[in-house]
């Protein structure tokens, strides 16, 4: 949440030869460099098993920036200035001697910087490597200074409540909690952070942001991509572990939390934990009624034919892994009692669209005759997270003409139009926060565990009762029919996301 950092800083990336470093981490750091937000004294050291020279490592990273940076391909002079700060160490993560070499290398770099150096260790590795790497870092005394050293762990943090609790226990026995930065990249998205600004920097929304005015809330994270090249990971994960337990619950906590006293890390995190603790536990016998799973079959996305999940590379041909999940959650507190939160996420859906919809209650009494309101809709506030970053309020207005006829119209704020500046990538924001030691947007141990506790009954029940009807939605649709029924049973329906004003709701003339 901070804007710049001035302390010397060295980021050591484990898994430096991997996809995450190539696609996300280094393009983000390079953009920070171009913006001048990196400290003057900055270095990045890559660590991985492959044998590579510094120059080969730099070339590999440049290729990633050229392909994946939001700013497009690199320019030679700028890249050369950045590349001079990059180095590489080939090391086995289980080899204590390699960590001694790493410590010696980092000590030499520190001496070159005039002021005390902050050290960030980024574990861009599979989850199984977290414990061994942190143990080795501790063994080499690289995490001894709790004020100036910290490390970042990627999701998934554990694969269920028991494993996450165990991992937290191991890590917090080795280092201080404040040194652990559990990343969830959704928290770095501009529009996700804007939920806080929208709610707590304006006085007009908060008075109606409660059960008295809001009928229900929908949170949708829809993707058009399939599992891409990640079948090996995804087939042991699924939509609940991969998306619902992390990204969707994070977004929900920001929508539902109480106003924080300040934006200090623990103050905000305490408020989000309160939401998670207030979510009504789902009884196992209620799972079939309150949660829906799906797996995509073959289908068409736009004009492209795409294969079924079970035909994707590295996926079991009889896989029962869900690629879609929807759930109805209730929050037992004063603000939200009896207001359902419907969450849904899936791959290979009709459009890539993430949004939050707060559906308001209907007016208490309709003074207008039915003939004046052929297309009645209660007010709706839609926060577009991606790809269209926006806030839209839908309300009724009189249609011009000599007779009284009402139509829903939209009042719309678009990020792009209002600010006309490029929106930073989530990783840029989050990496800068880590360098500054600001943990507000990162998950604390208890946040992660409570989020697992919320979804654990679903995971248990689904594991015990394998689905018989998979695949149950064709690629290119909005998910399985049962997801529509989840809302229809409550007399509601999913809001179909619309991308641009031009695509505004088609209404009967």
Positions marked catalytic:
247
The two structure tokens encoding residue 196 = 């806080």
- C-alpha distance from residue 426 to each of 28, 63, 199, 330 (Å): 8, 20, 20, 29
Q: Which residue is nearest to ligand BG6 (CB)?
A: 242
Helices 130-139 & 96-112 angle (0-180, nearest 10): 60
Respond yes or no on whether the N-terminal peptide bond of residue 224 is cis (omega within 30° of 0): no
**Site for ligand BG6 contains 242 (CB under 6 A):** yes
Count other Cβ atoms within 10 Å, centred on residue 63: 12
Q: Which of residues 151-180 bind ligand BG6 (CB under 6 A)?
A: none
Q: Specify the residue, 18 or 139, whose C-beta has the smaller distance to ligand BG6.
A: 18
Size of the site for ligand BG6 (CB under 6 A): 2
CB 18 within 8 A of CB 60: no
Is the Cβ of residue 242 or residue 389 nearer to ligand BG6 in the bound state?
A: 242
Least gap, CB of 105 to ligand BG6 (angstroms): 31
Footprint (CB under 6 A) of ligand BG6, residues 312-371: none
Listed in order, strand segments (DSSP E) in 60-213 are 86-90, 118-123, 149-153, 180-182
Within 10 A of 272 (CB to CB), how many other CB atoms are there? 24
Which residue lies nearer to ligand BG6 by CB, 118 or 235? 235
d(CA 444, CA 129): 20
Site string for ligand BG6, 191-230 (x = CB under 6 A): --------------------------------x-------
Site string for ligand BG6, 419-438 (x = CB under 6 A): --------------------
Any contact of residue 449 with ligand BG6 (CB under 6 A)? no
Question: Residue 288: what are its φ and ψ, rounded to 5°?
Answer: -60, -30
> What is d(CA 102, CA 108) in angstroms, rounded to the nearest whole number?
10
Query: Least distance from C-beta 321 to ligand BG6, angstroms?
Result: 12
Comparing CA positions, the residue from 463, 387, 438, 427 lying closest to residue 31 is: 427
The answer to whether residues 454 and 332 touch, using CB atoms and an 8 Å cutoff, is no
Instruction: CB nearer to ligand BG6: give 157 or 473.
Output: 157
> Which is nearer to ligand BG6, 42 or 427 (by Cβ)?
427
Residues that bind ligand BG6 (CB under 6 A): 223, 242
């Amino acid at each position: 949440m901070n804007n710049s950092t001035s302390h010397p800083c060295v980021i050591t990336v484990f898994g430096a030869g991997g996809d995450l470093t190539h696609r996300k981490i280094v393009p983000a750091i390079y953009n920070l460099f171009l913006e001048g937000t990196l400290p003057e004294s900055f270095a990045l050291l890559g660590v991985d098993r492959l044998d590579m020279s510094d120059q080969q490592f730099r070339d590999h990273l440049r290729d990633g920036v050229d392909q994946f940076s939001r700013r497009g391909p690199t320019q030679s002079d700028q890249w050369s200035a950045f590349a001079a700060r990059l180095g590489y160490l080939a090391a086995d993560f289980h080899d204590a001697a390699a960590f001694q070499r790493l410590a010696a290398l980092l000590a030499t770099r520190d001496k070159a910087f005039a002021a005390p150096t902050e050290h960030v260790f980024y574990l861009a590795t599979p989850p199984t490597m977290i414990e061994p790497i942190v143990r080795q870092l501790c063994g080499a005394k690289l995490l001894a200074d709790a004020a100036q050293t910290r490390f970042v762990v990627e999701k998934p943090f554990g694969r269920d409540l028991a494993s996450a609790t165990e991992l937290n226990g191991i890590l917090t026995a080795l280092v201080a909690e404040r040194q652990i930065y559990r990343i969830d990249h959704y928290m770095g998205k501009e529009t996700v952070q804007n939920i806080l600004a929208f709610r707590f920097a304006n006085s007009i929304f908060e008075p109606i942001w409660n059960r008295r005015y809001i009928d229900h809330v929908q949170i949708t994270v829809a993707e058009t991509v399939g599992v891409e090249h990640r079948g090996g990971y995804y087939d042991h994960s699924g939509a609940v572990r991969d998306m619902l337990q992390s990204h969707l619950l994070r977004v929900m906590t920001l929508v539902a939390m109480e106003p924080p006293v300040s934006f200090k890390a623990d103050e905000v995190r305490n408020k989000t934990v309160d939401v998670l603790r207030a979510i009504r536990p789902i009884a196992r016998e209620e799972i079939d009624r309150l949660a829906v799973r799906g797996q995509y079959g073959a289908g068409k996305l736009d004009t492209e034919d795409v294969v079924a999940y079970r035909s994707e590379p590295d996926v079991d041909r009889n896989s029962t892994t869900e690629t879609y999940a929807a759930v109805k959650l209730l929050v037992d507190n004063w603000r939200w009692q009896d207001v359902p939160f419907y969450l849904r996420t899936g791959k290979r859906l009709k459009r890539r669209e993430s949004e939050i919809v707060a559906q308001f209650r209907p007016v208490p009494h309709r003074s207008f005759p039915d003939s004046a309101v052929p297309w009645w809709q209660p007010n709706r506030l839609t926060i577009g997270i991606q790809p269209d970053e926006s806030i839209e309020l839908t309300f009724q207005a009189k249609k011009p003409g000599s007779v009284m006829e009402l139509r829903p119209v939209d009042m719309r704020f678009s990020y792009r139009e209002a600010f006309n500046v490029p929106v930073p990538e989530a990783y840029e924001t989050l990496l800068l926060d880590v360098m500054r030691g600001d943990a507000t947007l990162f998950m604390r141990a208890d946040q992660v565990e409570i989020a697992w506790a919320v979804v654990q009954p679903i995971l248990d029940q689904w594991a015990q009762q394998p689905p018989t009807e998979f695949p149950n939605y064709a690629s290119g649709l909005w998910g399985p029919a049962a997801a529509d029924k989840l809302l229809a049973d409550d007399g509601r329906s999913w809001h179909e996301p619309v991308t641009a004003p031009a695509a505004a709701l088609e209404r009967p003339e």
